[in-house]
């Protein structure tokens, strides 16, 4: 992690308020190096149309392997341009998307997801879709037309492993793609897995910060 702070995932959604307007919700996942106990992490953003940039404070979620931490910010408005700010030990670090800030497309009565600079694939939602299958939605950056998205999974604690590949589902306004993966798991009550994305001779993983994902029933 060359930068002490990285945006992992930003999601934005809206729903009709019943009064002719929309209720917005934004959620931001941020990964930081744990450089000191005292720290401040915030989303520094604007709702657009000349509105000023203001901070939306993030809160600690959990410790991650490798001396990292996961933080989360939630907003009740729609930030169309933002960066991530990390204050620690008298210094301030930024993830501003290489100097261009992150730009989130407007969302009206729907949903969008924006990946940070580093992750090429992240899990969206997952669950048991029926008695013998799990279904996982993954968001990927559209790095090339030809790609393979899938998961490596186990139902016996990694004594054996299987691979399931996904199919394209839809494109988000941000340009990211959503792929759906359906994996046969029989009557298993616990499934562990990691997601992979193969494109242009490269392979990217989302393994839940080296811990893998798990579904139980």
Residues 43 and 111 in one domain: yes
| Residue range(s) defining the domain that contains residue 164 | 121-216
Residues 110 and 25 in one domain: yes
Last residue of a domain, one of 51, 82, 115: 115
Half-sphere exposure of 75 (CA within 13 A, CB side): 24
pLDDT digits (tens, 9 = 90+) for 50-100: 999 999 999 999 999 999 999 999 999 999 999 999 999 999 999 999 999
pLDDT at res. 19: 84
Task: Report how many domains make up the chain.
Answer: 2
Structure token pair of residue 186: 């029989």
Residues 89 and 147 in one domain: no
pLDDT at res. 1: 67
pLDDT digits (tens, 9 = 90+) for 29-44: 999 999 999 999 999 9
Cβ(214)–Cβ(189) under 8 Å?
A: no
Instruction: Indicate the SS3 state at residue 79.
Output: coil
Q: What percent of the chain has pLDDT over 70?
A: 100
Structure token pair of residue 139: 């968001």
pLDDT at res. 153: 98
**Residue 40, number of CB atoms within 10 A of its CB:** 12
Entry pTM: 0.90
pLDDT digits (tens, 9 = 90+) for 131-141: 999 999 999 99
d(CA 129, CA 186): 12
């Amino acid at each position: 992690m060359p930068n002490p702070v990285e945006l992992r995932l930003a999601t934005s959604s809206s729903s009709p308020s019943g009064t002719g307007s929309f209720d917005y919700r934004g959620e931001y996942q941020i990964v930081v190096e744990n450089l000191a106990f005292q720290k401040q992490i915030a989303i520094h953003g604007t709702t657009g149309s000349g509105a000023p940039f203001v901070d939306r404070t993030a809160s600690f979620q959990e410790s991650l392997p490798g001396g990292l931490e996961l933080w989360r910010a939630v907003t009740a408005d729609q930030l169309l341009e933002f960066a991530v700010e990390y204050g620690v030990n008298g210094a301030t670090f930024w993830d501003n998307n290489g100097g261009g800030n992150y730009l989130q497309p407007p969302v009206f009565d729907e949903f969008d997801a924006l990946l940070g600079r580093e992750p090429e694939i992240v899990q969206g939602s997952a669950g048991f879709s029926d008695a013998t299958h799990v279904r996982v939605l993954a968001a990927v950056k559209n790095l090339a037309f030809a790609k393979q998205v899938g998961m490596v999974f186990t139902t016996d604690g990694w004594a054996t492993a299987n691979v399931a590949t996904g199919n394209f589902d839809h494109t988000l306004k941000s340009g990211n793609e959503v792929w759906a993966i359906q994996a046969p798991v029989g009557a298993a009550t616990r499934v562990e897995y990691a997601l992979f994305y193969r494109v242009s001779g490269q392979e990217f993983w989302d393994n839940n910060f080296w811990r893998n994902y798990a579904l139980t029933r």
